[in-house]
Amino acid sequence: MHTWNSYSTQDSNTPNMDQLIFFHDLTLMIIILITTCISYIMLFLIYNKFTNRFMIHNHLIEFIWTIIPMITLLFIASPSLKILYLLEETNSPIISLKTIGHQWYWQYEMSDFFNIEFESYMQNYEEMNHWMFRLLDVDNRVILPINTPIRMLFTSTDVIHSWTIPSLGVKMDATPGRINQAFIFINRPGLFFGQCSEICGANHSFMPIMIEATNLPYFINWMKSFN
């Protein structure tokens, strides 16, 4: 997780986040190019000693500044639509993790192999070790395997929450009476943090998310520990 003194997005750990970062960089490059060109033209017109009488009515200029924005929008819309379809794609998931939002903690269920169910609260400050992250560590981490297709299911029992981990490219609302779905494929092991991103009440900022991505044998041993 790369966040300290950083002016960019977090380091990606899923193919979906790779695409989102690519789209961010592409759009930023286009915006900088447009801003630079418009600034140059405006300064040229303001500090120009001559007056061009054809700048008021000129069909060629009208045609150019209509076509160029259309082409620019096509360059932005094409990768945007591609990423939207990729985010909705579910490629034969092996594991399904159901996430249930509560005021103000997360509940997780995993019933593909074992009947796993546990709750995840923010780690109490008095019980934290020196290597833990304040307001980010939890008492029960979610353990997930790397290089494995995983389906995420989201719902809520009270109000709307939002399960968000930026480095995994996931931000999905947990809505009462509805199940939303996301797909992740974690590339490498590590600890990944997130928080609820939908204002859900007084303790909205105290329901962090913590994912520990690990290899498959460790994940299987973790599942067996629930039996």
Q: Tell me if domain 15-88 and domain 95-224 are identical in fold.
A: no
Q: In what order do the strands lie in the sheet with 180-185?
A: 116-120, 105-110, 95-102, 149-156, 180-185
Give residue-wise pLDDT tens across range 73-129. Answer: 888 888 888 888 888 777 788 889 999 999 989 999 988 877 888 899 988 877 777
C-alpha to C-alpha distance for 80 and 46, rounded to whole angstroms: 36
Give residue-wise pLDDT tens across range 171-187. Answer: 999 999 999 998 989 99
C-alpha to C-alpha distance for 1 and 62, rounded to whole angstroms: 48
The whole-angstrom distance between residue 169's C-alpha and the CA centroid of its chain comes to 3
Q: Which fold has domain 95-224?
A: Immunoglobulin-like (2.60.40)
pTM: 0.77
pLDDT band at 220 (very low <50, low <70, confident <90, very high): confident
C-alpha to C-alpha distance for 205 and 196, rounded to whole angstroms: 7
Domain positions in the chain are 15-88, 95-224
Q: Rounded to 5 degrees, what are φ and ψ at 3?
A: -135, -30
| 15-88: CATH class | mainly alpha
